Chain A
Amino acid sequence: NAGVTQTPKFRILKIGQSMTLQCTQDMNHNYMYWYRQDPGMGLKLIYYSVGAGITDKGEVPNGYNVSRSTTEDFPLRLELAAPSQTSVYFCASSYSYNEQYFGPGTRLTVT
């Protein structure tokens, strides 16, 4: 099993550009999550999904959108990138709400 994979690993965006962060899991988990981690800080939940076709907002959803058309994939869309979105983004998945397994992260810089 590859577990949770994320692409790209690194990205630099200009202010106002858009991009999609990809996340795929091969563990047949129903639950998937997107977190951001700012330097020296903990994890903040952006969006989550409890199954294909179902998504919900976390603590910091503004400026982001998600979709969940399959069990395996949970892409995160940034529209009109802003410097405040410079962060490391982690995708995670789990069988239920508890034991979450994380991907390696995408390091995003917006300048």
Chain B
Amino acid sequence: GQQLNQSPQSMFIQEGEDVSMNCTSSSIFNTWLWYKQDPGEGPVLLIALYKAGELTSNGRLTAQFGITRKDSFLNISASIPSDVGIYFCASQETSGSRLTFGEGTQLTVNP
């Protein structure tokens, strides 16, 4: 299957800092999703993107569907301790294909 390259693998930041992470592939995708997994819990869907160039916000989170359709990024502004967790990107080549998940970015926020 297609691979998603998610970076960075891990981040250690201070509370209040902004965070940026991204997901890239050599293939073209028509859907990008971003999930967050709190420690000991299942992943929760944060943002879904369906059009190239689309920019969508959810509170302090903003995600964009890259114009080339091969990448997406997720920004978190003014981080807080509860932002700690693993952030996964997921993507879909066509509406009839399964989701492919990235390996995740582990975020640690120091108070």
Contacts and interface: CB of A to CB of B under 8 A. Distances in A.
The range of chain B's interface size is 20 to 34
Contacts of B33: 98-99
Interface in A52-95: 58-59, 90, 92
Given A97-B92, A98-B31, A98-B92, A42 B45 contact: no
A90 B90 CA distance: 16
B1, B90, B99, B104: most-surrounded residue (chain A CB, <10 A):
B99
Interface residues of A, number: 20
Nearest to A35: B101
A48 B88 CA distance: 20
Nearest to A100: B99
B45 A99 contact: yes
B contact face: mostly helix, strand, loop, or mixed = loop
Contact of B42 (A42, A90, A99): A90
A100 B33 CA distance: 9
A101 B99 CA distance: 12
Nearest to A58: B98
A102 B99 contact: no
B92 A104 contact: no
Contacts of B11: none
A27 to B, nearest CB: 13
A103 B43 CA distance: 8
B58 interface: no
A101 B98 contact: no
The 9 closest A-B pairs by CB, nearest first: A102-B42, A42-B103, A43-B101, A102-B43, A98-B31, A104-B42, A105-B42, A90-B42, A42-B104
Interface of B: 1, 31, 33, 35, 40-45, 48, 88, 90, 92, 95-99, 101-104
